[in-house]
Homo-oligomer: A and B are copies of this chain.
Amino acid sequence: MKLHKNPDPKGLDLILQRPVVEEQQLSDLVRPIYEAVKKEGDAAIRRYNKSFDSNNSSEITLDEKEIELAVRLIDSDLAKAIKSAAANIEKFHRAQQSQTTVVETTPGVFCWQKQVPIGKVGLYIPSGTAPLFSTVLMLGIPATIAGCDEIILCTPAKENVVNPEILFAASLVGIKKIYKVGGAQAIAAMAFGTETIPKVSKIFGPGNQFVTRAKLFAQLNGVAIDLPAGPSEVLIIADESADPNFIAADLISQAEHGTDSQVVLISPSEKIIQSVRRRIKEQLKDLPRAEIARAAIANSKAILVSTLDEAMEISNKYAPEHLILNTENADRLSTKVINAGSVFLGQYTPESAGDYASGTNHTLPTNGFAAAYSGVNLQSFMKSITFQSIDKDGLLELGPVVEAMAKAEGLEGHRRAVSLRLQKLQIES
């Protein structure tokens, strides 16, 4: 963890710079997979399943019996924990439902906006070093609350076996259409559809750089995606009220995601920073994923600042995916957050809580995208449609406004669509 003491504002950009992905090379690797799935459909999926996942089965659709088996096999304490997390996630996302309000903008002119579920959505759940069954909850629950008609799930099946926790979570959420396919080929299948896998309107879910690149291709082909993606990140702002042991644990929990994880600590206290560095070393000693975490920590930054406000300014500039405010009066400081994905306040609010079970979503904007993007929420599975209904009095009032503006924009056809109606109304009256 490299320490930067009171860095010059001009130097901050360099300190906070994120890794840049080799665009062209990645695209060249993903494109042939994409094209093959588009052209050959299921045949390409079977070929990739064989070569990438040692899965020789010709069956792509998961058999419902496999779900039943997984549900029976799951450890009962874990099942209870998953159900408890699911209940919180459901509670938080259900509270995001909005009411339709009719606004009478001019007497007789009624306008409203209605949230309607996206019909077909596809969820991608990776299952490499960490089988992310928690993501099944984070995507599946809001999709169900939104009322999406068709929710499909793709996940890789090494040697034709899908992780049972993923199946348990899917079953709990009510997802029935599960396909055994991973990587860029899964994204392509959902973007174009194959004989077996339906085409969807929006694709959700995390993945490695091939998956995220494939999602960008999908977007270029008119399929919506949840978020552009980058390596996971945490930025912690801490003062002397914080327990260095907690800070170290929070930094490590981020670092263990991947060697490219971004980890930043900002504090007005050098004592805290030094103490956190020592605790990190201690805690890493017996961590199972220590090698991954150590690589990420080696790239991480500690920044010594003069005030907490200065720390917040830097954080807003960085726009972290996760922001932990481990300070006295974290509530007050939190009102100054402008750019962040999800914010954790106080000593007893570790990021892990939001990753799994508090109820907030863990699919969040990385790579500085928090400046313009929201994390996944209920609205991510819906779209707003506007409606308007104008009565005769309304058009008599509004019509001349439209006529004047259409004329000035040189769109006579637009003007006439109103004028013809006004003429009829004048004849009638």
Binding site for B on A (CB under 8 A): 23, 75, 77-78, 80-82, 84-85, 87-88, 91-92, 95-96, 98, 101, 103, 105-106, 109, 111, 113, 116, 118-120, 129-134, 165, 201-202, 216, 219-220, 222-224, 228, 243, 245-246, 249-250, 252-253, 255-257, 283, 287-289, 293, 330-331, 334, 337-361, 365, 367-375, 377, 379, 383-392, 394-395, 398-402, 404-406, 408-418, 420-421, 424-425
Query: What's the minimum C-beta distance from A323 to chain B, rounded to whole angstroms?
Result: 9
| Complex Cα gap A92–B82 (Å) | 42
**If A101-B95, A372-B118, A392-B348 touch, does A405 touch B106 (CB 8 Å cutoff)?**
no
Please tell me if the beta carbons of B224 and A330 are within 8 angstroms of each other in the complex. Answer: no
Complex CA distance for A353 and B422, rounded to whole angstroms: 12
Nearest CB of B to A251, in Å:
9
Q: Specify which chain B residues have a CB less than 8 angstroms from the CB of A417 in the assembled complex.
A: 246, 249-250, 252-253, 350-352
Q: How far is the CB of A242 from chain B (nearest CB, A)?
A: 12
Contacts A224-B372, A374-B383, A410-B130; A96 near B116 (Cβ below 8 A) = no
Compute how far the CA of A410 lies from the CA of B166 in the bound complex, rounded to whole angstroms.
13
- 12 A-B interface contacts by CB (under 8 A): A106-B359, A130-B411, A134-B409, A289-B411, A330-B389, A348-B395, A349-B395, A351-B417, A352-B406, A370-B385, A375-B386, A377-B386
List B contacts of A106 (CB < 8 A).
Answer: 84, 88, 358-359
CB neighbours (8 Å) of A130 from chain B are: 409-411
Complex: chain B residue closest to A409, CB-CB: B130
Pick from B255, B331, B361: contact of A389, CB below 8 A: B331
List residues of chain B with CB within 8 A of the CB of A385. 337, 340-343, 370, 374
Per the bound structure, the CA–CA distance linking A132 and B411 in Å amounts to: 10
Is there contact, CB below 8 Å, between A253 and B409? Answer: no
Given A256-B412, A348-B421, A361-B386: A401 in contact with B81 (beta carbons within 8 A) = yes
Check B414–A358 contact: CB distance below 8 A: no
Cβ of A372 and Cβ of B402 under 8 Å apart? no
A78: B residues at CB distance < 8 A: 404-405, 408
The reply to whether A386 and B412 form a contact with Cβ atoms under 8 Å apart is no
Query: Are the CB atoms of B111 and A103 closer together than 8 Å?
Result: no
- Contact indicator B413/A256 (Cβ below 8 Å): yes
Is A165 a contact partner of B408 (Cβ separation < 8 A)? yes
Which B residues touch A84, using CB under 8 A? 106, 401
Given A351-B417, A371-B383, 4 more A-B residue pairs with CB atoms under 8 Å apart are A78-B405, A243-B424, A342-B385, A345-B388
Asked if residues A85 and B405 are in contact (CB atoms below 8 Å), the reply is yes
Which single member of B134, B255, B395, B410 contacts A413 (CB below 8 Å)?
Answer: B255
Closest 6 pairs between A and B when the two form their complex, measured CB to CB: A105-B359, A81-B404, A224-B372, A256-B413, A88-B105, A374-B384
In the bound complex, residues from chain B placing their C-beta under 8 Å from that of A119 are: 338-339, 371
Chain B contacts of A293 at CB under 8 A? 413
Verify A359–B109 contact, CB threshold 8 A. Answer: yes
* Docked-complex contact A414 and B337, CB < 8 angstroms: no
Given A222-B228, A337-B116, A408-B78, are A353 and B386 also a contact pair (CB < 8 Å)? no
Residue of B nearest to A323 (CB): B385
Q: Which of chain B's residues have a CB closer than 8 A to the CB of A344? A: 387-389
| Residue pair A348, B406 in contact (C-beta under 8 Å) | no
Select A132's contact among B347, B352, B409, beta carbons within 8 Å: B409
